Amino acid sequence: QVQVVESGGGLVQAGGSLRLSCAASGSITSINIISWYRQAPGKSRELLAAITGGGSTNYVDSVKGRFTISRDNAKNTVYLQMNSLKPEDTAVYYCTALRGPYQYWGQGTQVTASS
């Protein structure tokens, strides 16, 4: 089993930056894909970015050029650097780890970008 814990959320003015962290229990090298999702009030959960064990990355169009996903295998941590935040980025952000057929979710961290 894998446990993931998100941190780094908070309140920031529009145009500002935040870096979210996703700390995984155990080695993340055994995890196939780690992804970041978000869910805004009244909306469905949205996939934002993903990084594979080999370091390949993918982003949804709405965050390309603003968000960067990266991993530090030595720290068993994946990051989401978020720049140029907009009020519409306000949501709870979740980290999820996919290993084999199982997907593990964190508890989420709130990000609020004020206008």
Q: Helix, strand, or coil here: 30?
A: helix
Closest CA to 81 of 105, 73, 32, 89: 89
What is the rounded distance in angstroms from the CA atom of residue 25 to the CA atom of residue 43?
29
Which range among 10-19, 24-33, 55-64 shows the weakest confidence by mean pLDDT? 24-33
Q: What tens digit of pLDDT does each residue of 51-99 get?
A: 998 899 999 999 999 999 999 988 999 999 999 999 999 999 999 999 9
Percentage of the chain surpassing pLDDT 90?
A: 83
